[in-house]
Amino acid sequence: MASNWDDLAELKETQEIKEQSNNLLLIDGINVAFRYLHRKNFDSFTDDYIRTVSSLAKSYQAKRVICCFDAGASLYRKTLFPDYKANRKVERTEEEQERFTAFFECLNQTVEELPFEHYKFKGIEADDVIAYFSLHLSKQYEHTWIVSSDRDLYQLLSDRVSIFNLFSRNEVTLESLYEKFEMTPREYAFSRIIEGDKSDNILGIEGIGPKRSAALVKEYKTLDNLLNNLPLKGRSKYITNLNNGIKTLEQNEKLINLIDYNEDVISCVEK
């Protein structure tokens, strides 16, 4: 079929956008795919997935697109804490299991057909791969956009790194994080270390939720500073738990901090 002027104009526009683009797009592969699990096309979403990533690449003027996938549980975290994500094991009905199996079969097929750079390493989680690329590549681009709804990735935010949540359709930036939580990315990670992460079976200090952890972060700023000031004075049960929770805090920091332990995590890749 011969091309018409509209086709040529669109081709020229696409080429111009590509030439102007100098952003890095990091896709949390399975996180993005889970939007299909409860849809009718749970077992046939390959084309739609590729279109979605292509659309995101165009919207964020990406010069380079990298899709990052999980490949089993984190060997680093399971070695450190054997009960890591132990709460993820759920009983499913036969129908639910069939859907789950078909979904992952389609996801595996999708990964094979992706026209984008993509990586998965046995024993390494996607957020660690994303953290690695963010830490090592972001300076080469005008801006890095991470596509994920995983709040653990908030600690990667900077003036050069932002996040787009495909589920809520919200962008999370350095400014919006501070506006919502009055915390820097490092401080946000510190608050998670105190609270723990129930979704990953990481227990925090009992009796300390978001408000109390935010107050502690505001006062002490860093985990090292908090630890240096323990034991704190006070008769409240949560103060007692905090004073007795040094090992919990130290372990949580190694489980939750995606930046300072990234090299240790990546070195655990299974050959």
Active site residue 186: no
Residue for token digits 């129908």? 95
Residue located via tokens 């993820």: 88
Whether the bond between 82 and the residue before it is cis, its omega within 30 degrees of 0, is: no
**C-beta neighbour count of 105 within 10 angstroms:** 11
Would you call 7 a catalytic residue per the annotation?
A: no
253 is catalytic: no
b/e burial code for range 160-198 (CB count within 10 A of at least 16 → b): ebbbbbbeeeeebebeebeeebebbbbbbbbbbbbbbbe
How far, in Å, CA of 43 to CA of 107, rounded? 8
> Pick the catalytic residue: 63, 78, 85, 254?
85
Q: Of 43, 64, 127, 152, which residue is the catalytic one?
A: 152
Which position among 187, 197, 212, 253 bears the catalytic label?
197
Q: State the first-to-last Cα distance of the chain, in angstroms, to the nearest integer.
A: 49
Is 16 annotated in the active site? no
Respond yes or no: is residue 13 known to be catalytic.
Answer: no
CA distance 43 to 203: 35
Q: Is residue 128 annotated as part of the catalytic site, yes or no?
A: yes
> Is 260 among the residues known to form the active site?
no
**Are β-strands 161-165 and 143-147 bridged in parallel, bridged antiparallel, or unpaired?**
parallel
Known active-site residue 197: yes
Name the residue among 155, 158, 187, 160 with its Cα closest to residue 174: 158
Active-site hit among 48, 150, 151, 186: 150
| 64 annotated active-site | no
Q: Which of 43, 195, 200, 253 is catalytic?
A: 200
Catalytic one of 43, 127, 128, 253: 128
Beta strand 23-28 pairing with 62-69: parallel
Q: Please identify which of the residues 12, 39, 51, 88 carries the catalytic annotation.
A: 88
Four-CA torsion 44, 47, 48, 50, nearest 10 degrees: 130
User: Using alpha carbons only, what angle is made at residue 73 by residues 134 and 23, rounded to the nearest 5 degrees?
Assistant: 15
Question: Is 125 one of the annotated active-site residues of the chain?
Answer: yes
Catalytic residues: 28, 70, 85, 88, 125, 128, 150, 152, 197, 200
